[in-house]
Structure 1
Amino acid sequence: MLLLIPGPVQTRPEVRAAMAVDIAPWDNDFAPEYIAIRETLRDVAGGIAGRHVCLPLQGAGHFITEAAIRTFIPAAAAGGGKLLIPMNGTYAERMARLAREAGRTVVELPAPDSRGVTPEAVAAALAADPAISHLGVVYSETGSGIVNDVPALGAVVRAAGRRMIVDAVSAFGALPFSLQAQPEVDAVLFTSNKCIEGLPGIGFAICPAERVEAAAGNAGSWSFDLADVYSTAQRAGWGSFRFTPAVQALHAFGVALDIFIAEGGQPARLARYRENCRILYEGGRALGLRPYLDWENQGPVIVLFHQPEHPDFTLQGFVDALKRRGVLISNFHNTAAPTMRIGCIGHVGPDEMRFALGALRGALEELGIRQRDAA
């Protein structure tokens, strides 16, 4: 089965095989492997040894996002600043909910889900409210496929003397990022199952060490306290854990990370995903499907097409017809308009994308939808 969703992604056989082992996470033989993962991820994020740290946390992307919000922004009741969030996608909405339910104050910046938010809009919002301490931004919004320009937004935040939390869950490893170039960032966040092409189970935050040290006591949660993750590593060693982790997933992630480096790292991965995206975008249009985004706003992670306006079309029926042809896509959408979500990331390349286009054609024909009907 060819898995074309924006995560969990299609993985290599050797990554899946790495899960088939029994590991004691506190065993001294595993500690060097864990340390190496943390150091490699710090380097991939453009961090510097001694200045930046990798702080893993069990769970999904929402877990590491909530942990960063709790850690770096004190609660409103404790005099914490406000979190500005450009609301141009589903995952921005989720960030806002996580922050509010953690007792943090959110300022929503309205923006369409069809393009990235502009630096000018963020600059104006920061100037209008001096109480905003942080910008929280989703780098790659898989609800629609857009990309927010994190380097450009960071320059605005830096100039305003504010801080930034970057949800790079579906961006890290593909879209460029450097903590050295963006000292205003408190945390860049991602997981094991997206562009590094590992399996689900672990979230990661890469942060300036001095910012983590200054954040001790903010979280109001033991489980979601990145400062406690940091202090545990300092006390017990960087190969230590606070609680039992998804250790097999971590071991498999180490294999995926080695493959990522061998492939050429972020530039090579971005090039492959962009080509996947181009093939899918152009091929879908040739089938009569209408992309949700204009090409100039299309990110490399996921392509959305409008659902055909045809009486015999249902999204689940289409997903089932694709699955019979060996391709699995999401059976839901996050946009106001009915759309179809097809991922471009994971262990897939041009051949797989062309195979998927053949499956798309066959599924449309099975449902009795011709090219002109799909448009």
Structure 2
Amino acid sequence: MLLLIPGPVQTRPDVRAAMAVDIAPWDNDFKARYAAIRDTVRDIAGGVAGEHACLPLQGAGHFITEAAIRTFVPAGRKLLVVMNGSYAERMARLAREAGREVVALAVPDFRSVTPGEVADALAADPAIGHVGVVYSETGSGIVNDVVALGAAVRAAGRRMIVDAVSAFGALPFDLKAQPEVDAVVFTSNKCIEGLPGIAFAVSPIARVLECAGNAGSWSFDLSDVYATAMKAGWGSFRFTPPVQALHAFGVALDIFQKEGGQPARLARYRENARLLHEGVQALGMRPYLDWAHQGPIIVTVHQPADPAFTLLDFVERLKKHGVLISNFHNTPVPSLRIGCIGDVHADDIRFALCAIGTVLDEMGVARRQAA
């Protein structure tokens, strides 16, 4: 089965095989491997040894996003959230339920936010201390320019939290060049092409120390993750980790480095996205985004207006042809979500496009444009 979703992604056999190894997380040999993984992740994020720290947390992207909000945004303080997609909406909900005040900056989900829009929102409300932004919004496929946005946040004297869950490892990020960023967060099962189970934040150590006691949660306190590492060693855990998933992530990191790291992965995903974007148009369908706004992680496509088309039927038929896509959408209008990431290559995309065309013909979908 060819898995074309924006995560968990299709993985390589040696990554999956790493899950079959029984490991004691407290074993000294594995502690060394875990410590090395943390250092590698810090380096990929553009962090500097002694200045930045990788702070892992068991669980999904929502967990690490909430942990970053709780740790760095004091309770009752304001967080400006750039609202141009469904994952921004989730960030806002996580912040509200953690007792932080959300100021929503509404932006259409078919384009990125501009630095000027963020600057204006910050100027209008001096009480806003942080900006939360989703780097790659997998609701629609847009990419927000975190470098330009960070410059606006820095000029305003505020801080920023970057949800890079579906971006990290593919889209560039340089933490040392963005001192306004308190945390860049991501998970094991996206562009590094590992398996689900663990999430990561990379943060300035000075800020982690300054924010000790903010979280109001032991489980979601990144300053406590750091304190434990300082006390028990960099290869230590606070609570029982998904150790097999972490072991598999280490294998995926090795593959990532051998492939050429972030630039090589971005090039492969961008080519996948180009083939998809052009290919669905050749089939008579319309991408949700213009190419100028299309990111490399997921291509979203308007559902055909033909009454013969239903999403669940389409997805189930496509599975029979060896391709699995998401059976839901996150856009205001009906759409399809087709992932470009994972162990997926140009020939896989061509195979998928052929299968999509076959299924549309099977369903009798003649009117393939959106309503």
- In 1, the alpha carbon distance for the partners of 2:67 and 2:106 equals 24
* Whole-Å separation in 1 of the counterparts to 2:176 and 2:65: 21
For 2:335, give the aligned amino acid. T
Question: Which residue pairs with 1:315 in the alignment?
Answer: 311
1:67 maps to a residue whose letter is: A
**What's the offset of the Cα at 1:312?**
1.2
Corresponding position: 1:122 with 2:118:
yes
| Structure 2 residue corresponding to 1:211, chosen from 202, 207, 224 | 207
1:1-12 map, 5 Å: 1-12=1-12
Structure 1 position 39, deviation (Å): 0.2
**Offset of residue 373 of structure 1:** 4.0
Matches within 5 A, 1:76-95: 76=76, 81-95=77-91
Mapped contact 2:326–2:338 kept (Cα < 8 A): yes
User: Which amino acid in the other structure matches residue 133 of structure 1?
Assistant: G
Aligned-partner residue type, residue 14 of structure 1? D
Q: Which amino acid aligns with 2:314?
A: F
Q: Deviations over 1:234-291 (max 9, x none)?
A: 0000000000000000000000001001111000000000000000000000000111
1:21 corresponding residue in structure 2: 21
| 1:282 equivalent in structure 2 | 278
- Write the distance in 2 (CA, Å) between the matches of 1:373 and 1:106: 39
Equivalent in the alignment of 2:63: 63
User: Which residue identity is paired with 2:54?
Assistant: C
Is the CA contact 2:285–2:368 (under 8 Å) kept in the aligned structure 1? no
What's 2:240 paired with? 244
Q: Is the 8 A contact 2:110 2:293 kept in 1?
A: yes
> Which residue pairs with 1:350 in the alignment?
346
Cα 1:176/1:205, change in 2 over 3 Å: same
Which structure 2 residues correspond to residues 252-263 of structure 1 after superposition, within 5 A?
252-263=248-259
Report the residue type matching 2:276 in the other structure.
L
1:103-118 aligned within 5 A: 103-118=99-114
The residue identity in structure 2 corresponding to 1:25 is P
Residue of structure 2 equivalent to 1:195: 191
In structure 2, what is the Cα distance between the partners aligned to 1:326 and 1:302?
Answer: 19
1:229 matched to which residue of 2? 225
Residues 123-144 of structure 1, C-alpha deviations (whole Å, 9 max, x = no match): 0000111111100000000000
What letter is aligned with 1:343?
G
SS of 2:29 mapped into structure 1: coil
CA shift for structure 1 position 374: 4.3
Secondary structure of 2:176's match? coil
Report the secondary structure of 2:175's partner residue.
coil
Residue number in structure 1 paired with 2:45: 45
2:129 counterpart SS class: strand
Q: How far apart, in 1, do the equivalents of 2:157 and 2:254 lie?
A: 37
**1:8 and 1:193 mapped to 2: Cα distance?**
5
Q: What are structure 2's unaligned runs of at least 5 residues? A: none
How high is the TM-score relative to the length of structure 2? 0.99
CA contact 2:10–2:193 (8 Å) conserved in 1:
yes
Q: Deviations over 1:85-112 (max 9, x none)?
A: 1110000000000000000011000110
- Matched residue type, 2:18: A
The 3-state SS of whatever aligns with 1:273 is: helix
Secondary structure of 2:131 counterpart: strand
| Partner secondary structure for residue 71 of structure 1 | helix
Tell me the residue number matched to 1:174. 170
Instruction: Return the alpha-carbon distance in structure 2 between the equivalents of residues 374 and 93 of structure 1.
Output: 28
Identity, % of aligned pairs? 76
* Aligned residue pair count: 370
Q: Match of 1:72?
A: 72
Q: Does structure 1 retain, via aligned residues, the 8 Å contact 2:303–2:368?
A: no
Question: Hey, what's the Cα distance between the residues in 2 that align with 1:309 and 1:182?
Answer: 44
Instruction: Find the aligned partners of 2:323 and 2:340 in 1 and give their Cα distance.
Output: 13
Please give the alpha-carbon distance, in whole angstroms, between the structure 1 residues aligned to 2:193 and 2:26: 25
Match of 1:304 in 2: 300
Distance in 2 of aligned mates of 1:173 and 1:305: 24
Q: 2-side partners of 1:86 and 1:31: how far apart? A: 38
Note the alpha carbon deviations across 1:6-29, whole angstroms, 9 max, x for none. 000000000000000110000111
Residue 292 of structure 1 aligns with which residue? 288
Counterpart of 1:118, as a letter, is T
